[in-house]
Amino acid sequence: MNNHDLLIEKLGRDMQPVKPPRPTGWRVLMWLLLALPCGIAASFLVQRTLTDWSQPGAMRAAVQLALAFTLGLLAIRSAFNMSIAGRRSLSWKALLPLGLLWLGLSLSSIPHAVIEAHDDDSTRCFTFLLVVSTPMIMLMIASLRRTRALHPVRSLAMAGLGVACMAVTLLAFCHPVHLHAMDFVMHLAAIAVIVTMTVLLGKRWVKWG
């Protein structure tokens, strides 16, 4: 086509206004308001008992809960920022201190587990984390799909970490305040599976920039 002005005019008529994404803080808040109730509802599908916060060591468990929630919040915010080109996001190095602190507190609670009977069914922790995280993963992928990511795998991995942390937060309300070694192993295994599931499921749906 030699008439460039006519082509530009035709393309201009066909263009639709692009709705900018909401601020990251608002997207995080909306995701939390949807995802956490879904996770709580999913928790009723698995066997669970409420945490006894009167037990010795409850304060340490509460600190672990707060750390997991904070780490998840930062990871989810970072994932949303990474999904938009030009936005600055936290790297995994910035989240590492919180993660190491959570790991340290978890490990420090294991020797005290002998004061509490254990049924050796640590797979319940694994099942709980996967069940409550599934609807949150779906909501996260749907949220990230609204924008195009330059590095979708990195964004999805960060989102998976955030979902895993939120699942661990919910588990804290349905778990003894003390850990057994196999519980800890199952927690780490579930976190790895949740991150992997988020990446594998999201790669098909999240748009490339």
pLDDT at 131: 97
For residue 209, is pLDDT > 80?
A: no
CA–CA gap between residue 145 and residue 48 (Å, rounded): 33
Rounded to two decimals, what is the model's pTM? 0.84
Residues 6+ apart with CB under 8 A from 146: 21
For residue 115, is pLDDT > 50?
A: no
Helix axes 58-82, 24-43, angle to 10 degrees: 130
What share of the chain in percent tops pLDDT 90? 49
Closest C-alpha to 125, from 11, 49, 19, 209: 49
Residues 6+ apart with CB under 8 A from 107: 184
Dump pLDDT digits (tens) for 85-103.
Answer: 666 777 788 899 999 999 9
- The whole-number average pLDDT for the span 58-63 is 92
Which pair of tokens denotes residue 205?
A: 């749906």
DSSP-assigned letter for residue 114: G
Torsion-angle region of 72 (φ positive above 0: left; ψ -120 to 50: alpha; else: beta): alpha
Residue 207's DSSP bridge partners are: 148
Torsion-angle region of 57 (φ positive above 0: left; ψ -120 to 50: alpha; else: beta): left
Closest C-alpha to 38, from 190, 166, 174, 191: 166
Does residue 155 contact residue 30 with C-beta atoms inside 8 Å?
A: no
**Residues of the chain by 3-state class (helix, strand, coil), percent to 5:** 70, 0, 30
- The whole-number average pLDDT for the span 182-197 is 94
